[in-house]
Amino acid sequence: MKKKYEASTAENHVDILNIAGLEARVKDHMSNEKGAFGYISGGSEDEWTKKQNTESFNKRKIEPRVLQGIDHADLSTKLWDIDLKTPIIQAPSAAQGLAHAKGETDTAKGVAAAGSIFSISTYASTSIEDAAAAAPDAPQFFQLYMSKDDNFNEFLIKKAVAAGAKAIVLTVDSTLGGYREADVANKFQFPLPMPNLAGYSAGDGEGKGISEIYASAKQGIVPTDIQKIKNMSGLPVIVKGIQSPDDAELAIEFGADGIWVSNHGGRQLDGGPASFEVLPDIADAVDQRVPVIFDSGVRRGEHVFKALASGADLVAIGRPIIYGLNLGGAQGVTDVIEHLNMELSITMQLAGTKTINDVKNTELLW
C-alpha cells in the first residue's frame, strides 16, 4: 500500500531568535520524505544566486539618525485602496501542504492575523475557494502560472474572481523550472494533489515531477498576455519575475498595474543578479507609475528597510513563511511576520524614520 504523506500538524507560537535560523529547525522537524524539504529550501544549480539574494543587502548601509524626536515606528501602509498593518506581505508559494497538513488555509489565516496580503498559487495544495474562506475578510491575490490553454486560464481566473481576489499576480519568470539539483537527487514528485488543477485538466498534479507540472505551462509568454489576463479578470495584474528595467517598461507599456521584482528566490536562473541588486534601477524606470513589490532573500527587518529605501512599496517573503507554517501552523506564520515587524520597527527608529513613507525617502549609503 502506498504510504500517505504526513505533514506537520503543529499549531503553536514559534519562538524566533532570527529568521535565518528557522531553516535548520524545519530540516530537523520535517523529514525529507519524498524530497519535500529539498523542494521547499532548494535553489537552482550551485545556488549562487540564492545566496547572493541575502548577501547583497550588505552592499548598502543605513545611516543612523538621532535627535529626530521619534519614539515609535508606524508600519502601516497601503496598496491601492488596501490598508495594511505592515509593508511585509506573503510571496505566493506552491504546495504548502508539504510543510503543514492545513497548507494554505493556515497560511491565509496567519497572514490575515498580521494584517497583510496572502497570495495563493496556481499549484497550491488548497483550493482557491478554501483559502479565501479561511480568511474571508482579508485581502488575497491569485498567482497565475499561465497555461498554454486560455480556456484553462479563464477557468482559474473566474474561480479567483468569484472567491474575491483583489489582483492577479502573473508570474513570468517560471515558464519552466530551473535545474534544482535537490529535486533531481531526491527524484521529487508532488505527493499531494493540487486541487486548482482538478475539475478541468486530466489530473491534479499528484505524483508528477516538476517538469511534468510545467509541461502545460505557457513557455512563450508575450507582453499582450498582460492585457489578456486583465480582460479575463477585470482585476489589476501585477507582473512578477521582473529583473530588468527594460522588462519593467515593457510590462507597464502593455498594461501592468504593478511590478514585482523577483528572481523566484534563486530557484530559476542561477548566475543571475541578486534581486536587491536590480531593484533600484527597476524602481527608477517605474518612476512611481505603478506599485513595486520586491522579494528574494529577505531575512531581516533591515533588509525590508533597505528594499523600501531602494524603491519597493511592499516587500514579500516566501520560504520564511513556509518555515513558520511548518513549525507552528497559522500562528507560526503570524510569528514570522511579527518578528520581521519587530526588527523593522527597531531599524526605523534608529534610522530616524517614523513612517513607511519616511523609509522610502531615505537614501542608503555605499
329 is in an annotated binding site: no
Q: Which residues pair with 121 in a beta bridge?
A: 143
123 alpha-carbon distance from chain centroid: 13
Distance CA 203, CA 156 (A): 15
Is 339 part of the annotated catalytic residue set?
Answer: no
What domains appear along the chain, each with residue ranges and CATH number?
22-360 (3.20.20.70)
User: 139, 314 in Cβ contact below 8 A?
Assistant: no
User: What's the confidence (pLDDT) of residue 249?
Assistant: 98
214 is in an annotated binding site: no
C-alpha neighbours within 13 Å on the C-beta side of residue 31 = 5
* First-to-last C-alpha distance (Å) of the chain: 59
Q: Tell me which of 13, 72, 264, 339 is the catalytic residue.
A: 264
Question: Which residues, 6 or more positions from 288, have their beta carbon under 8 angstroms from its beta carbon?
Answer: none
27 is in an annotated binding site: no
Distance CA 109, CA 118 (A): 9
179 is in an annotated binding site: no
Burial of 202 (0-12, 13-18, 19+ CB in 10 A): exposed
Exposure string of 126-157, with b = 16+ CB inside 10 Å and e = fewer, is: bbbbbbbebbeebbbbbbbbbbeeeebbbbbb
Q: Which of 347, 268, 342 is nearest to 302 (CA)?
A: 347
**pLDDT tens digits, one per residue of 2-40:** 678 999 999 999 999 999 999 999 999 987 778 999 999
145 is in an annotated binding site: yes
Distance CA 39, CA 267 (A): 10
- From first to last of its 366 residues, the chain has per-residue pLDDT tens of 567 899 999 999 999 999 999 999 999 998 777 899 999 999 999 999 999 999 999 999 999 999 999 999 999 999 999 999 999 999 999 999 999 999 999 999 999 999 999 999 999 999 999 999 999 999 999 999 999 999 999 999 999 999 999 999 999 999 899 999 999 999 999 999 999 998 666 578 888 888 888 888 899 999 999 999 999 999 999 999 999 999 999 999 999 999 999 999 999 999 999 999 999 999 999 999 999 999 999 999 999 999 999 999 999 999 999 999 999 999 999 999 999 999 999 999 999 999 999 999 999 999
